[in-house]
């Protein structure tokens, strides 16, 4: 039994990986998959590969696969794929192979060394050699044998608990030194831990999950007597949590058309750690979800479009410091879409989800960023081509391309059109379906220069005609020809004011030869 304990300890310490001078040159890419985030309606938002994060010079990045085996159906199901930090088990392994011979357990894990080496994986069990049978020449008397068995039953669990304790202390110290720890990402947000009095956490009660996205789950929650939204990030998405709070904490970000920020918290510890982002809660949910179940009138469309464009304009705007607030740099959203536009009860919009946003500090470069990010369906042609100029204006124009697509979604469900209103469709859904690949989008948007279909029945309404012209100028293939957010906001505001003016006009009196009478002229 002691042999097995020593073996267990060796395996545990081996997983931590010794410090080595060897390193894989350049960036490592791994195939990415998360069953929770890449399934169902979120499939189109899921990236196919990820670049492993920076690490110490004496460490390596590896790729891994976690899959489940059903002993009844004898089928394997992939659960997770991605990057894995420095483990001796993975060193110099070109193939991802699980060698454990025990096929009764549910989950299997393998790792490998090299770019995209986890694209394929397999199970190649190594036969276990049974321990030799030792002949006892002098049998232990029955009473002594019982005592020996009793002592073993007590001592082995105690020894195991001691080893686990030693391992935990070593693991904690190592994690504290590195700033992060080496673990397999979780498929679901971890269990909700009880608030720690030492952390000063708010007394938040999670009520129900309202949405799942690329970076975590959004909960409806209760804080004292207020209903709030809590976005829960798992450990592997900590950077998105950091980015979001950086954006929210910028000066002048307390704006009616930007989601209201309440605070951030860390919950749990070690492998159960979660990162919470607490914001205002809006019952109507995202614009995408609202349009699936509802149509909008012309005044409602103007109200939504104007507030949405005003929020995007505020985000893009560079605001100098004043007596009340400091300087606000320009910010590019980089994942603008109808799912990231929330509707308030008064049918105005506010912009949310800044996990991919980019801040442009004056006189500083964009930083080490990647151009091809966001949701494929909403990617501008230059993003799909990988031909972005890494300047502030280039990134802001990418947001405006996506803004044009969201305006199209609004127009498609507006009752002002002269004809029947069709079922809600995502941009390009009719052309390339619900789950387009990057190649599909490149063929459609870049090669064929296609855009979502604008029906002739929309152009028969003067207001919708102006919206159609606006969306076409937003999604222009030439990025420099696209409208700015301020221009879109001014156009829609003008249309909205015209609507109010027209609604103040009274019906012609009985004598048809008499002129129209307005409220203003009758006063």
The residues annotated with a catalytic role in the active site are 335
> What is the bridge-based pairing of β-strands 96-98 and 121-123?
parallel
**Could you give the 3-state DSSP secondary structure of residue 414?**
strand
Residue 385, judged by CB atoms within 10 A of its CB (0-12, 13-18, 19+), counts as middle
- With contact defined as beta carbons under 8 Å apart, do 9 and 162 qualify? no
Q: In 3D, which of 429, 462, 308, 450 has the Cα closest to residue 381? A: 450
Give φ, ψ of 463 to 5 degrees.
-70, -45
Q: Where are the alpha helices (DSSP H) in 99-205?
A: 142-178
Give φ, ψ of 222 to 5 degrees.
-120, 125
What span, in angstroms and rounded, lies between the C-alpha atoms of 231 and 209?
A: 10
What span, in angstroms and rounded, lies between the C-alpha atoms of 36 and 41?
A: 10
- With contact defined as beta carbons under 8 Å apart, do 84 and 110 qualify? no
Q: How far, in Å, are 56, 85, 122, 181 from residue 178 at the CA level?
A: 8, 11, 32, 7
Rounding to the nearest 10 degrees, give the CA dihedral for residues 253, 259, 262, 264: -90
Q: For CA atoms 255, 476, 408, 286, give the dihedral sign.
A: negative
Q: In 3D, which of 322, 379, 326, 385 has the Cα closest to residue 356? A: 379
- With contact defined as beta carbons under 8 Å apart, do 280 and 259 qualify? yes
What span, in angstroms and rounded, lies between the C-alpha atoms of 46 and 32?
A: 8
Q: How many Å separate Cα 407 from the centre of its chain?
A: 23
Q: Calculate ∠ Cα 200-204-256, nearest 5°.
A: 100
Could you tell me the end-to-end alpha-carbon distance of the chain, in angstroms, rounded to an integer? 99
What span, in angstroms and rounded, lies between the C-alpha atoms of 123 and 230?
A: 40
User: What are the residues facing 122 on neighbouring strands?
Assistant: 97
Q: For CA atoms 413, 414, 417, 420, give the dihedral sign.
A: positive
Q: What are the residues whose beta carbons fall under 8 Å from the beta carbon of 331, sequence distance 6 or more? A: 247, 250, 315, 316, 354, 357, 358, 359, 360
Q: How far, in Å, are 323, 384, 401 from residue 214 at the CA level?
A: 39, 19, 21
């Amino acid at each position: 039994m002691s042999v097995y304990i020593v073996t267990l300890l060796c395996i545990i310490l081996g997983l931590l990986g010794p410090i080595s001078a060897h390193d894989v040159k350049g960036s490592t890419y791994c195939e990415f998959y998360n069953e929770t985030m890449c399934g169902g309606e979120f499939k189109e938002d899921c990236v196919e590969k990820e670049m492993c994060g920076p690490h110490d010079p004496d460490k390596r990045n590896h790729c891994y696969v976690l899959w489940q085996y059903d002993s009844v159906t004898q089928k394997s199901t992939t659960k997770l794929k991605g990057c894995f930090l420095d483990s001796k088990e993975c060193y110099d392994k070109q193939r991802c192979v699980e060698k454990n011979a025990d096929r009764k357990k549910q989950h299997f894990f393998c790792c490998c060394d090299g770019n995209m080496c986890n694209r394929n994986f397999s199970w190649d069990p190594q036969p276990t050699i049974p321990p030799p049978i030792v002949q006892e020449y002098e049998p232990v008397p029955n009473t002594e044998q019982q005592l020996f068995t009793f002592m073993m039953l007590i001592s082995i669990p105690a020894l195991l608990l001691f080893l686990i304790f030693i391992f935990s202390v070593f693991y904690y110290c190592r994690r504290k030194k590195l700033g992060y720890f080496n673990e397999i990402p979780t498929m679901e947000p971890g269990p909700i831990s009880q608030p720690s009095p030492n952390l000063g956490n708010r007394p938040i009660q999670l009520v129900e999950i309202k949405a799942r996205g690329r970076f975590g789950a959004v909960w409806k929650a209760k804080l004292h007597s207020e209903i709030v939204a809590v976005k829960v990030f798992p450990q592997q998405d900590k950077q998105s949590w950091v980015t979001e709070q950086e954006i929210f904490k910028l000066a002048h970000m307390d704006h009616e058309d930007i989601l209201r920020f309440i605070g951030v918290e860390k919950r749990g510890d070690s492998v159960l750690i979660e990162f919470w982002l607490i914001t205002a809660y809006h019952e109507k949910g995202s614009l995408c979800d609202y349009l699936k179940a509802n149509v909008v009138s012309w005044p409602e469309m103007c109200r939504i479009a104007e507030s949405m464009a005003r929020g995007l304009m505020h985000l893009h705007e560079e605001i100098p410091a004043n007596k009340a607030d400091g300087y606000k740099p320009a910010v590019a959203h980089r994942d603008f879409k109808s799912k990231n536009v929330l509707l308030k009860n008064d049918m105005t919009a506010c912009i949310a989800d800044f996990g991919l946003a980019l801040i442009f500090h004056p006189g500083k470069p964009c930083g080490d960023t990647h151009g091809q990010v966001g949701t494929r369906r909403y990617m501008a042609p230059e993003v799909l081509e990988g031909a972005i100029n890494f300047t502030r204006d280039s990134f802001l124009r990418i947001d405006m391309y996506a803004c044009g697509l969201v305006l199209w979604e609004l127009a498609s469900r507006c009752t002002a059109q002269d004809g029947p209103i069709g079922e809600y469709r995502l941009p390009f859904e009719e052309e390339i379906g619900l789950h387009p690949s990057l190649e599909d989008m490149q063929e459609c948007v870049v090669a064929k220069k296609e855009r979502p279909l604008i029906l002739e029945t929309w152009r028969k309404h003067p207001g919708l005609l102006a919206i159609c012209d606006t969306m076409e100028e937003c999604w222009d293939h030439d990025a420099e020809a696209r409208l700015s957010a301020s221009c879109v906001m001014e156009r829609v505001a003008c249309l909205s004011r015209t609507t109010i003016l027209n609604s103040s006009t009274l019906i012609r009196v009985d004598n048809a030869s008499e002129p129209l009478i307005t409220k203003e002229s009758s006063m």
